[in-house]
Chains A and B, each alone.
Chain A
């Protein structure tokens, strides 16, 4: 069974641009969560999607948005990029958003904002 796939693996953008990251969950998993990882802040939860609906949201500005498609694939968009958005963005999937279901992570997309 294929794992969680994130594309692209690396991205370089400049301030003010926007970016879209993609995540394909494990087959059969309908919940997708996004996290931002930086050296100073650790892993910070962005949002979780289930059945194409945002279920949970972390404390990030509205520049960060996401969506989920009917095949459970998810995209995350960041508009008007700032230098501080440079980070590793991790996607995780689980069968459904029940606490007993384990999250499995992708390898991440490393975003550098210049």
Chain B
């Protein structure tokens, strides 16, 4: 069935760039999302990309999509302590009753 995979942990020094990777299996994925979850909170939509795009930039965030390899990444420039959170990759398409499939999340830890 459809699956979304992410590494569980990432440690980055404050000020460096963080790159969180995600792979998915459904070749008909149309929409791909990144959500952020801070402790004790729900999921906050960070950014999304349509499958007909390769890249999307929004301030410190850059999303890269390699559709051939079914690989999505989120780059956070100049990582700050406030970026410490769990980041979820998710995908959906219209052929699967519009269900959204989430990865298990990557916990980003910021080193001083």
Contacts and interface: CB of A to CB of B under 8 A. Distances in A.
Interface residues of B, number: 23
A56, A99, A107 pick with most chain B CB within 10 angstroms: A99
A49 interface: no
Interface string A102-114: 1111111000000
B98 A105 contact: no
B105 A99 contact: no
A81 B24 CA distance: 34
A32 interface: no
Interface band, chain A: 20 to 34
B92 to A, nearest CB: 5
B104 A42 contact: yes
A63 interface: no
A42 B103 contact: yes
B102 interface: yes
B62 interface: no
Contacts of A35: 102
B31 A100 contact: yes
Contact of B42 (A90, A97, A102): A90
Interface string B75-112: 00000000000001000111001111011110000000
A104 B44 CA distance: 7
Interface in B42-71: 42-45, 48
B74 to A, nearest CB: 16
A56 B30 contact: no
A102 B33 contact: yes
Given A42-B104, A43-B102, A45-B99, A100 B30 contact: yes
24 contacts: A4-B42, A6-B42, A35-B102, A42-B103, A42-B104, A43-B43, A43-B88, A43-B104, A43-B105, A56-B99, A90-B43, A92-B43, A98-B98, A99-B93, A99-B94, A100-B31, A100-B94, A102-B48, A104-B45, A105-B35, A105-B42, A105-B43, A108-B41, A108-B42
